[in-house]
Amino acid sequence: MDGINYDDIAYNFLIGGDENIYEGRGWKKIGAHTRGHNNNCEGIAFVGDYNFSDQPTEKQMDLLKQLLEYGVSAGYIMENYKMYASEHFDDTSPTGKKLIEALQKLPQFVDITNETHPAYTKAKCIFHVKLIQQFHISPDSKNFSDIGYQFLVGGDGNAYEGRGWTKQGAHTKGFNVDSICIAFVGTFIKEPPPAAQLSAARQLIQIGVENNYIAANYSLYGHRQLAPFESPGKALFDIIKTWPHWSNKLSSNSWQEPDPVKPSAKEATHRASADTTSN
């Protein structure tokens, strides 16, 4: 076939939005869907984009269960099989957040997240940053003009520019005008970020101070201190609280109030905030 140059569709089966099962390569032929795992797994694709507003229907999930049950009864799938999202093994195959949420309800599904595998590759980090940007600018979600954060740091030890130093962010209502937000890609509720990711954040703050984008006497906060959210995750927040300039003294600003008037472009911001992402 043209394009990827496969001899057939890559998946063994597909489940459509019309709530039908479509046979691709079937049970007896090796698929071409997940490099390194094709010879010992069945590739079942959901037709659609399940990143933001769309989510699989109950009927689609029932069809998945029926397909798997038949595979077990017919001897094509082992009784103690495990189910994984393709994006856990292939950075170019996003499964979709809404679909993963539905799969998490199945007992056979194994959720490989940053909690157990925090050391992302560069490709994985780029994928997550782009996904977050799409979520922020989508009319069906936040409808921002761009990603809300000034910077993001990944488990690969790299910093990714969002709005940058000179553009106001859209991350913490009431505080956007005089703060720089650095988001950690991941949740880090139980497990801390890798050392390279923490180092990237601290280096960013230092660069901001040296170039007068952040005031020398800045205060450092976790997003959860400025808004009623559980980010950054506790494992990361406990680390941030040990860093220089962390503060538990807040101004009169409130996340419920609009941002104050933007200061002069030459005036350094007096806050740096840390957040985590779950996309």
Q: Is residue 157 predicted with pLDDT exceeding 80?
A: yes
Q: Which of these three, 103, 135, 152, is where a domain ends?
A: 103
Cross-strand bridge partners of residue 183: 152, 275
Domain residues for the domain of 220 are 122-277
- DSSP class of residue 158? -
- CB-based contact 223:229 (threshold 8 Å): yes
**CATH number (domain holding residue 158):** 3.40.80.10
pLDDT at 88: 63
**110 in a structural domain:** no
**167 in a structural domain:** yes
**232 in a structural domain:** yes
Q: Which of these three, 103, 134, 161, is where a domain ends?
A: 103
**5 in a structural domain:** no
Among candidate residues 189, 193, 188, 147, the one with its CA nearest the CA of residue 171: 147
Q: Are residues 126 and 220 in the same domain?
A: yes
Antiparallel, parallel or unpaired: β 13-15 and 21-23: antiparallel
Whether the pTM exceeds 0.85: the reply is no
Cα gap 25→4, rounded to integer Å = 16
Q: Is residue 140 predicted with pLDDT exceeding 50?
A: yes
Q: Are residues 133 and 255 in the same domain?
A: yes
**Could you give the angle at the alpha carbon of 74 between the alpha carbons of 42 and 16, nearest 5°?**
45
**8 in a structural domain:** no
Q: CA-CA distances (angstroms) from residue 25 to 32, 66, 70, 71, 238?
A: 9, 18, 16, 14, 50
Cα gap 16→138, rounded to integer Å = 24
The first and second tokens of residue 192, run together, are 């801390």
Q: Are residues 130 and 263 in the same domain?
A: yes
Q: Are residues 158 and 194 in the same domain?
A: yes
Cα gap 171→152, rounded to integer Å = 12
- CB-based contact 207:259 (threshold 8 Å): no
Q: Are residues 128 and 95 in the same domain?
A: no
Q: Are residues 260 and 182 in the same domain?
A: yes
- Count structural domains, the chain: 2
Cα gap 241→225, rounded to integer Å = 11
pLDDT at 115: 37
Length of the chain: 279
Q: How far is CA 74 from the centre of its chain?
A: 37
Cα gap 188→234, rounded to integer Å = 7
pLDDT at 127: 79
pLDDT at 187: 79
Cα gap 18→92, rounded to integer Å = 25
Q: Are residues 144 and 262 in the same domain?
A: yes
**156 in a structural domain:** yes
The first and second tokens of residue 98, run together, are 């809404």
pLDDT for 61-112, tens place per residue? Answer: 999 999 999 999 999 999 888 888 876 665 445 677 788 888 888 888 865 4
Q: Are residues 89 and 131 in the same domain?
A: no
Cα gap 5→2, rounded to integer Å = 5
pLDDT for 113-126, tens place per residue? Answer: 433 344 468 888 88
pLDDT at 76: 93
Q: Are residues 89 and 180 in the same domain?
A: no
Q: Are residues 243 and 201 in the same domain?
A: yes
Q: Which of these three, 55, 74, 103, is where a domain ends?
A: 103
Count CB neighbours of 261 within 10 A: 6
**Amino acid in position 140:** D
